[in-house]
Structures are given as C-alpha cells and as structure tokens.
C-alpha cells in the first residue's frame, strides 16, 4: 500500500482549508485521507469541556512494534487579520516566486505535510519490512486555549495503553534559515493579574483615601528591581515582564479605588510555577495592603537533555542543509509542554519569520528540504533502534 506523497500539494490542500481555531475547515479530513492512502490507521477524536469549543483531533498510526516514533503538530491557525494587507489570498495556497503563501504555511501546515511525505518516503524505502511504529498526534487547538487538543489527546492515548518513545514537533523553530535551530526544551510561562484595592477619594484630601496606584507602583518595582536568576547552560535568564497597567480613571482630581496590572514570567528550569508564585507573593507582601493576585500557568519549564535523539535530528539537518543547528530553549510555549510528560520531545520545523503575519509564506525549497530532513530522521532513528 505504501506510496509517495507530494509535500507541496498536500501543504496546499491543507492551507486551502479555513481552519482558524476552533474551526477545522476540513483540514484533518484532508490529512486523514492522505495518511490512510499510505497505510495509516486514523482516528478522529473530538474533545469537549464546558465553556470551550469542541475540538477535532487526529491520531494516526502505522505499525504495532517498538520503537514508537511520533510526529506532533497542529492544523489550526490564527486569524487572517485584514485581508487587504495580504498580496495573496490567505487561503489560496498560491505559489509565487518560489514561495508558498497562505495562513498556516509556516505555522505549521507545510511542516505537517512534510511529516506525511517523509513517512510515505520512509515506508516505501522499507519495502514492507518496517517493524516499529510511526504515529501522528495532530490537534486543532494549539493556537487557541489548548484545552481540548494535544493535552486530552495524550490522555486518551495513555488510557488506551499507547506508549511513545520519542516525539518530534514541527513548529517553525528556525529564526533565519532552515537548519538554524532545534528546540530541546521550553521555558515555563506564568501569567499574573494583580489588583490592588484602595479607597477612592479627592486628590486634595489624600488623608481621607487610600491610593492603590502608589502601592501598585511600589509592588511592580519589587517585582522588577532584581532578576530571578542568571540563566543556565541551556536556558537564558528568567524574565518577568509587566504587560499592562490599568486604572481606568479619566479624572485628574480623583484617587481611584482600584489599580490593576498584568505580568508574564518566562522561567527556566531552575524554577517551577509554584516557586515563581511564592516568589511573587513574597515581594508583594513586602509592600502589604489589600491586594488580589490571580495566577494562570501555561506550562512548566522542561528540557530534553542533549543525547541520542537530538543528535539524530541535528545529524539529519546538517546532512541536508549543511548547517549545524543550535540546540535552543528560546521562544514561547508549544504543545511540547504536554508531550514532555510522555516521552522525549524535540521541535524542528520551517523558518518562522512570517508566522502570524500578513503574507505568511514558506520557500518551496525549504518544504522539499524539510521533507528530506524528516525522512532522514526516520531512517536514522529506526536504523539506530530508537
């Protein structure tokens, strides 16, 4: 049943599906059909939770033996924005001057197509003698709240007794050129919403009021006047950034009753979210007074230590591109933050310069090269016994 797949044509078909989160737009059906043609058994799983949209996800697998190698990613995209700022139809999948245009081209429909084309090429090369397993974990909820996507799909696989040995996520990891960077971990992310409660009053009579803005400013100073750490061998220093300060007071002669601020902490593996929250609260308590702090954790810091898995990926990248990739933990979060609880995980995909922008696009040559890289990774991984 094994046959080759064209990554460019499959990527174009995926881009033509308007799969802006939470809509699937038929994208997973397109991928399912392509994988079934090369012998994969596919299951569409819909997960739901109160207050969030239902999300369709895909689990596909070929083979039953070990080792079990997984490709993970997503087919949902961010919104287009103003279509007038695009020079091409965002869902037209046009090819111009050697570039494939469309929302999701870089992040990460073309990489998903490369996954499938690489799996097809590898299976053809095996001539029916493949004894391991290759699977796909593809969600439609990576760009959204990430509640009914990869996290629940992984829980389902665990309930089914499915175990993974290694997973490669196809996020656009390369800053400038294909071959620049492999992600072997990610910083954790914690969001805080701070509300300082005071007593409103007249600015001419401050003794009759309690100005929350003054205490808020002091509190923010406590949070930013010294670094959390100096970084590690694999992580840059942790960073707390104030993202918003809101008082909502249009009057110059009124002391407001409340003042609010938001902040985000990107933390390395010297910390966990509970420790960061304790650090924040200790500093807020130095100023004291009535305040409320709401914390939301997007993910914990994690690292897949350099070793056989990263060496296989780096070796394949270098053979195809001639570049020696950097092993990095920079950037934001990804669904790798969920996968790391199940197996070794790393990320490598296309160039990310245009992701989420108007005229999102990828080079045709990069799509072809990435297919070659993924194919080489499969050959080396299974040739090395995992």
CA nearest to 139, candidates 129, 149, 147: 149
Output the pTM of the full model. 0.91
What contacts 278, CB < 8 A, 6 or more positions away?
A: none
Q: Give the orientation angle of helix 364-383 with respect to helix 7-15, to 10 degrees.
A: 120
Which DSSP string do the residues of 3-19 spell out, in sequence order? ----HHHHHHHHHTS--
Predicted confidence band at 127 (pLDDT cuts at 50, 70, 90)? confident
Verify whether residue 76 is a known catalytic residue.
yes
Say if residue 386's pLDDT is above 60: no
What string of H, E and C letters represents the secondary structure of 277-288?
Answer: HHHHHHHHHHHC
Please give the Cα distance from 186 to 328 (Å, whole number). 8
CATH 3.30.70.360 is right for the domain spanning 188-299: yes
CATH superfamily of 7-186+301-383: Zn peptidases (3.40.630.10)
Read off the pLDDT of residues 162-209 as tens digits, 9 standing for 90 and up: 999 999 999 999 999 999 999 999 999 999 999 999 999 999 999 999
Band (157; pLDDT cuts 50, 70, 90): very high
Domain boundaries, the chain: 7-186+301-383, 188-299
Active-site pick, 76, 180, 335, 360: 76
Q: Which of 24, 107, 141, 142 is catalytic?
A: 142
**pLDDT digits 0-9 by tens, 25-45:** 999 999 999 999 999 999 999
Active site residue 142: yes
In angstroms, the CA 314 to CA 349 distance is 12
């Amino acid at each position: 049943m094994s046959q080759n797949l064209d990554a460019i044509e499959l990527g174009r078909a995926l881009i033509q599906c308007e799969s802006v989160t939470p809509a699937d737009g038929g994208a997973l059906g397109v991928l399912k059909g392509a994988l079934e043609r090369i012998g994969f058994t596919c299951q569409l799983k819909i997960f739901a939770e109160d207050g969030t949209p239902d999300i369709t996800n895909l689990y596909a697998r070929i083979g039953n033996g070990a080792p079990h190698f997984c490709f993970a990613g997503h087919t949902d995209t961010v919104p287009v924005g103003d279509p007038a700022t695009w020079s091409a139809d965002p869902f037209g999948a046009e090819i111009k001057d050697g570039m494939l245009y469309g929302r999701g081209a870089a992040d990460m429909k073309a990489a998903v197509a490369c996954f499938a084309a690489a799996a097809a090429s590898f299976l053809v090369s095996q001539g029916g003698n493949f004894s391991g397993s290759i699977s796909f974990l593809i969600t439609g909820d990576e760009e959204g709240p990430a509640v009914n996507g990869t996290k629940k799909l992984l829980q389902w696989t665990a309930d089914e007794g499915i175990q993974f040995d290694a997973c490669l996520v196809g996020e656009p990891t390369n800053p400038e050129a294909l071959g620049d960077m492999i992600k072997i971990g990610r910083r954790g992310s914690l969001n805080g919403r701070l509300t300082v409660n005071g007593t409103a009053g007249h600015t001419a009579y401050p003794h009759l009021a309690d100005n929350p803005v003054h205490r808020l400013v002091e509190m923010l100073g406590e949070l930013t006047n010294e670094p959390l750490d100096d970084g590690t061998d694999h992580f840059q220093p942790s960073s707390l950034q104030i993202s918003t300060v809101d008082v909502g007071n249009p009057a110059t002669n009124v002391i407001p009753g409340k003042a609010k601020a938001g902040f985000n902490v990107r933390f390395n593996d010297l910390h966990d979210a509970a420790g960061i929250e304790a650090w924040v609260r200790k500093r807020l308590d130095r100023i004291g007074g009535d305040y409320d702090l709401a914390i939301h954790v997007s993910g914990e810091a994690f690292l897949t230590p350099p070793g056989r898995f990263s060496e296989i990926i780096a070796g394949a990248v270098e053979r195809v591109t001639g570049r020696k990739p950097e092993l990095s933990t920079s950037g934001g979060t990804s669904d790798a933050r969920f996968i790391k609880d199940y197996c070794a995980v790393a990320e490598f995909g296309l160039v990310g310069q245009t992701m989420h922008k108007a005229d999102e696009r990828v080079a045709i040559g990069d799509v072809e090269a990435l297919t070659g890289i993924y194919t080489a990774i499969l050959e080396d991984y299974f040739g090395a016994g995992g």
